[in-house]
Amino acid sequence: MLGFKEKIKWLFSSKKIYFTLRLVLGGLFVYAGILKISDPKAFAKVISQYNLVPESLLIIVAFGLPVIEIIAGAGLIFDIKGSLTAISAMIVMFIIVLWYGILNNLEIDCGCFSLEEQKTHDSLREAFYRDWIMLGGAMYLYCYRFITRGFRLKKVI
């Protein structure tokens, strides 16, 4: 019978869970990016409702963010170095933006996947909680890497 430490180590060193989470998380980002890039004007409109991006940068952000999501998502699916960091950074950014929207009682679409989400009553809160779950998945991937590959510090010199 495995002790608590062994169970945790086994859980965080499962290749099947690691592969599945990479596929799901990366796939979600590719899917979301494709939906957004298919209609950048609609996505720019959603972004503008948050009032966080200057008008002159809206189109750049509305096109650039989905491209980054697609590239990072594909990178995570194929386990390319740096993609998990990019995905994690975007999730944290999305959580902060959604929190801002919730705190300001914005009645807008979260802009996460499609304009259909706008029809749901509490889109920002649902997206906020969903992003925390995705961040938990990303943290699992970091734990897996730490346990299976070890913690390696690169020498600066």
The per-residue pLDDT for range 10-48, each reduced to its tens digit, is 777 789 999 999 999 999 999 999 999 999 999 999 999
Mean pLDDT of 68-74: 98
Torsion of CA 70, 141, 91, 43, to 10 degrees: 20
Copy the structure tokens of residue 135.
């961040």
Domain ranges for the chain: 15-149
Between helices 58-77 and 15-37, what is the axis angle to 10°? 150
CA distance 97 to 104: 11
Burial of residue 117 (number of CB atoms within 10 Å: 0-12, 13-18, 19+): middle
Q: pTM of the prediction?
A: 0.86
Q: pLDDT at position 12, please? A: 78
The SS3 call for residue 151 is coil
